[in-house]
Amino acid sequence: MVRAFDEVIEMNKEKDVQVISQQQAKSVFETTRLNLWYGETHALKDIHLTISENEVTAIIGPSGCGKSTYLKTLNRMVELVPSVRTSGEIKYRDENILSKHYQVEHLRTKVGMVFQKPNPFPKSIYDNIAYGPRIHGIRNKKILDQIVEKSLRDAAIWDEVKDRLHENAYGLSGGQQQRICIARCLAIEPDVILMDEPTSALDPISTLKVEELIQQLKANYSIVIVTHNMQQAARISDKTAFFLNGEVVEFDVTNKIFTNPHDKRTEDYVSGRFG
Ligand SMILES: Nc1ncnc2c1ncn2[C@@H]1O[C@H](COP(=O)(O)OP(=O)(O)OP(=O)(O)O)[C@@H](O)[C@H]1O
Ligand SMILES: [Mg+2]
């Protein structure tokens, strides 16, 4: 039905087979009956969603539908807003992270986040990457050097910065800064990477680089990406959740969402009829 996606869908057919064969994939996050309020605003309504290991899960939906809120609930960053109240359950590797007794510090070492606007620290490229490992007590220069190199290589930016590691990260282009932020996230060896519109501030070439990188990273990480770019969701994700007014309207294998959605509202959204 959505002609613009024909090509992407053809490419993804193979991927679909993989997804089906992985249906036993372990879940990393299991969200059950999640509700969230900012004061009186009911921003997430009865969310049920499973994030699976070594998959890219895309979250799509119009502005204000709760995508960022949901992402920030997965690392409990949303609690930085004082008026926030939640109910329900989010299990991360079988432990309920919304429980009062849950050690949020543990979650922060396991779940990394990349934001819409590249946000390197005003420090050298090296110090940006070494920041997390240093916080975790690593002082040995040789080990830090190794972590910095590996993280930059894994973020596909080593060759571009290896001769300027001690220059300020602000001197890099936006696309390079975003890959530095991804490298900074990898340096703490997370289990899951959350990305909130990570390419919306980037040019098409940098966007492509980050998309390729995401495809490579899923061999070792589980990734949740919020995107307004429908082609991007179709290109890089295994599963897609369509959010509307704080609810999950539909969650399925990406090809299904884009070619044969179950709900009329999903069809309208992915075909550009609203939002
Ligand atoms: N800090 C906050 N305080 C109060 N309400 C908030 C806060 N952050 C978000 N909201 C409200 O929660 C709802 C969901 O917002 P959210 O930022 O999650 O949407 P989104 O889907 O990420 O939108 P966008 O695509 O524009 O980024 C909106 O109604 C928004 O106004
Ligand atoms: Mg948002």
Q: Nearest residue CA, atom 20 of ligand 1?
A: 64
Residue 39 CA to ligand 1 center (angstroms) comes to 12
Q: Which atom of ligand 1 is nearest to the CA of 68?
A: 22
Q: Which atom of ligand 1 is nearest to the CA of 246?
A: 14
Ligand approaching nearest to the C-alpha of 79:
1
pLDDT band at 29 (very low <50, low <70, confident <90, very high): very high
Cβ–ligand 1 distance for 63 under 6 Å, the answer yes
What integer pLDDT is reported at residue 273 of this predicted model? 81
* Residue burial 106-116, b: 16+ Cβ < 10 Å; e: rest: ebbebbbbbbb
Cβ–ligand 1 distance for 227 under 6 Å, the answer no
Quote the CA–CA distance of 240 and 52 in Å, as a whole number.
Answer: 12
Q: According to DSSP H, which parts of the chain are helical?
A: 6-21, 67-74, 104-110, 125-135, 141-154, 158-161, 174-186, 204-217, 230-236, 254-259, 264-270
Contact predicate 73/33, CB 8 Å: no
What CATH class is the domain 54-75+103-270?
alpha beta
* DSSP 8-state code for residue 40: T
The pTM of the full predicted model, rounded to 2 decimals, is: 0.90
What integer pLDDT is reported at residue 13 of this predicted model? 58
Contact predicate 192/51, CB 8 Å: yes
What integer pLDDT is reported at residue 221 of this predicted model? 96
Q: Nearest residue CA, atom 8 of ligand 1?
A: 69
Residue 135 CA to ligand 2 center (angstroms) comes to 28
Cβ–ligand 1 distance for 64 under 6 Å, the answer yes
In Å, what is the CA distance from 243 to each residue of 37, 45, 52, 186, 255? 16, 10, 18, 28, 17
Place of tokens 């975790």: 136
Decide the pairing of beta strands 84-92 and 27-38. Answer: antiparallel
Average pLDDT on 233-250 reads 98
Per DSSP, the three-state class of 90 is strand
What integer pLDDT is reported at residue 8 of this predicted model? 56
On the question of pLDDT at 167 being above 60, the answer is yes
Ligand approaching nearest to the C-alpha of 63:
1
DSSP3 helix / strand / coil % (the chain, rounded to 5): 45, 25, 30
Quote the CA–CA distance of 14 and 151 in Å, as a whole number.
Answer: 29
Contact predicate 168/122, CB 8 Å: yes
The DSSP secondary structure of 209-230, one letter per residue, reads HHHHHHHHHTTT-EEEEE-S-H
Average pLDDT on 157-171 reads 97
Catalogue the long-range contacts made by 67-70 (C-beta closer than 8 Å, 24 or more residues apart).
67/196, 67/226, 67/243, 68/196, 68/226, 69/36, 69/38, 69/43, 69/44, 70/34, 70/44, 70/243
* DSSP 8-state code for residue 59: E
What integer pLDDT is reported at residue 83 of this predicted model? 97
Percent of the chain with pLDDT over 70: 91
Contact predicate 69/43, CB 8 Å: yes
Cβ–ligand 1 distance for 79 under 6 Å, the answer no
Q: Nearest residue CA, atom 22 of ligand 1?
A: 68
Quote the CA–CA distance of 130 and 147 in Å, as a whole number.
Answer: 7
pLDDT band at 267 (very low <50, low <70, confident <90, very high): very high
Ligand approaching nearest to the C-alpha of 45:
1
Residue 68 CA to ligand 1 center (angstroms) comes to 7
Catalogue the long-range contacts made by 12-17 (C-beta closer than 8 Å, 24 or more residues apart).
12/234, 12/235, 12/254, 12/255, 13/255, 15/238, 15/255, 16/253, 16/255
